[in-house]
Amino acid sequence: MPTQTRSDQRRARTRAALIAAAQKLLAERRTNVPVLEITRLADVGLGSFYNHFTDKDELFETAVDEALERFGSILDLLSDHEDPAVVFGQSLRLTVRLCRREPALTRVLLHRGLEITVADRGLVPRARRDIDAGIAAGRFRNTDSRIAVSIVGGGALSLAALLDADPSLDADAAADDFAINILCMLGLSDSDAVEICRMNLPDVDDLLVRTESA
């Protein structure tokens, strides 16, 4: 554990304030703002910006990466289950529920958009691992997991955009329906998929609290 001097802490605070401001702006799709506006929102001096980042692009990229990590670390808390279809179903249902619970974080991800589903960080590698496990166990159809994961990722993002655009939609029902669709796609019968998506799910708020400290 590297000793955190008071200087380091101060530095980290400033950096975090800048990133939080960037995430706020990303959620509003306003990335084309002067640096001064960012530092005002972060409540730090203009010069501090250049202490931490070389330009706006670098800041915004960092802000998206951190949001992705947050999402991923929440899903990592999901307890295991012997049936890979159950594991994946839980992940899907939880991910979509998280989008409703964390709209600001979700909008940050939506801004980066589809590049996320191509990336080799965040949620995609987790999904690919789960799908491959299901195929290996004979629980899923034998299919190209790169393409399957692409559909799942794009579908999840697209559904997140839909939930964001229409607050009147029932997010829990949409999440379960999404999971049913994906499980059917992977070869489960309609009834099997429905059954899995009726199982108990860990409390979303509880998971959020448990990852906040990180």
Residue 143 contacts its own copies per CB under 8 A: yes
Helix then strand then coil, in percent of the chain rounded to 5, is 70, 0, 30
Quick note: the x/- pattern for DNA over 25-44, rule CB under 7 A, is --------xxxx-------x
Residue 59 contacts its own copies per CB under 8 A: no
Residue 205 contacts its own copies per CB under 8 A: no
- DSSP helix/strand/coil, 17: helix
Residues 6+ apart with CB under 8 A from 39: 18, 21, 45, 46, 48, 49
Q: Which amino acid makes up residue 214?
A: A
Stretch that binds DNA, among 6-14, 120-128, 139-147, 173-181 (CB under 7 A): 6-14
Residue 113 contacts DNA per CB under 7 A: no
Q: Please tell me the distance from the alpha carbon of residue 197 to that of residue 210, in angstroms, as a whole number.
A: 24
Stretch that binds DNA, among 48-56, 64-72, 84-92, 145-153 (CB under 7 A): 48-56
Q: How many CA atoms lie within 13 A of 118 on its CB side?
A: 4
Instruction: Give whichever of 56 and 101 is closer to DNA, judged by the CB atom.
Output: 56
* Helices and strands (H and E) in the chain: how many: 12, 0
Interface ranges with its own copies (CB under 8 A): 32, 110, 113-115, 117-118, 141, 143-144, 146-148, 150-162, 165, 174, 177-178, 180-182, 184-187, 190
Q: Which residues bind DNA (CB under 7 A)?
A: 5-8, 10-11, 13-15, 33-36, 44-48, 50-52, 55-56
